[in-house]
Structure 1
Amino acid sequence: MPRQFFVGGNFKMNGTISTIKDIISHLNSAQCSADTEVVISPPSLYLLLAREHLRSGIEVAAQNVFDKPNGAFTGEISVAQLKDSNITWAILGHSERRVILQESDEFVAKKTQAALDGGIGVVLCCGETLEQREANKTMDVVLAQLSAVAKAGVKDWSKIVVAYEPVWAIGTGKVASNEQAQEVHKAIREWMGKELGAETAEKTRIIYGGSVSEKNCRELAGEGDIDGFLVGGASLKPAFVDIINAKA
């Protein structure tokens, strides 16, 4: 079976009640490809707002989740609380959290395991900086980030979507060329085949993130190992629908 195309919209720390309602209204009325799985991720304050107003068929993701159960962890959100609110996905390992908040590969792996154990799907982000790419360390970095999850004991990757996001292309307007993106996606899939098994490699969706827009999405979507997109700024605009329909 072909892998279902997956498009996530990461609003990051953007939006108000009014603007998020406008985005949701547009998505609810838009003609979105039935063959694409769509997930949006507003700031945590607006998760319930999004879930209450979105039509069925579009899911909601948190931008983070903690690796411990409910308790004395000020400022965090637990997997159980997301489940209770019908939030079905979490974005974990985004470079902005790895860099700004110094989240280690091991910490991201623990949160991934906690989310999966609690029944939440994970968009697992990985990617290299410009310096690392120029030093030919792209795959060393990306595979270390993914290996940490495997080493944490995650056996079932069926609820993981891997998002390759070169840090140098996030919010910069720079986009990895089709060849650059496909090369990394293919290498990730080959690693999965060796370390996790052929079935996992074949079924796991690997999506691209990094200044994706309605202008470049169709060409990127044509690559054999690119199964969708994690979209930043463009997910706040009407053109997000064009990206959702990139494979249609």
Structure 2
Amino acid sequence: MFVLVLYSFNDSRINAVWSGFTFDWYVSLLDNRQVMEAFMNSVTIAITTAIVSTVLGTMTALAFHRYSFRWQFAWSSLLYLPIILPDLLMGLSLLLMFSYFSIPLGKMTIMIAHIAFCIPFVFVIVSTRLQSMRNDLAEAAQDLGATPWQTFRHVTLPMLMPSIVAGALLSLTLSLDDFVISFFVSGPGSTTLPVYIYGMVKRGVTPEVNALATVMIVITLILVALAEIVRRNSNGTGNNTDESV
């Protein structure tokens, strides 16, 4: 990765030879219409995926935490399949499903695939936080006259918010970086940035590819760092809340 970042500043089109330092390859990225289109596709899909998967994953975690129902263990096991299964298998199975229902491949199919892949990660993060929360806080709020909605809004949701934000950031990162699943379910006009980078590599690795990959690395590191900060703040907030109670 260090060599990749270093050669993104190479003044030569040949990666094997260092000819000097330059920012020209980053400037050329901004002038490349196809790169910017692929970048906007990735951002749009990632933001939509993060929002929808966070809402659905949080609701699922709350349902599994509050209620007991038949085959609960089996249903929870199914939620872990997208995490365990290889991306290749998941991408192929989704492609077969879209083909069976005659759904045209495009941005919508990529969003559906990414949402299905990211929901389990949000579910795991929020479920972990729910298991460490004290139920007597919500019971105390209800004893003081709060409705179930008021209890959720003013007690449960604020305590869950750090884990919800961490799940959203993780979903955003996974969606931005995904290649295998996107490669199977993408269609005309819906090329994402990782898929576009793969096409550039097939035509020959140039410093422009290195510059684009460097941008992806920086974005990913920023999102992962934010998720880690939120996770640590979540643990600190939970401990302070327990001590104050």
Q: Which has the higher strand share?
A: 1
Q: Which has the higher helix share?
A: 2
Q: Could you state the TM-score of these two structures normalised by the residue count of structure 2?
A: 0.26
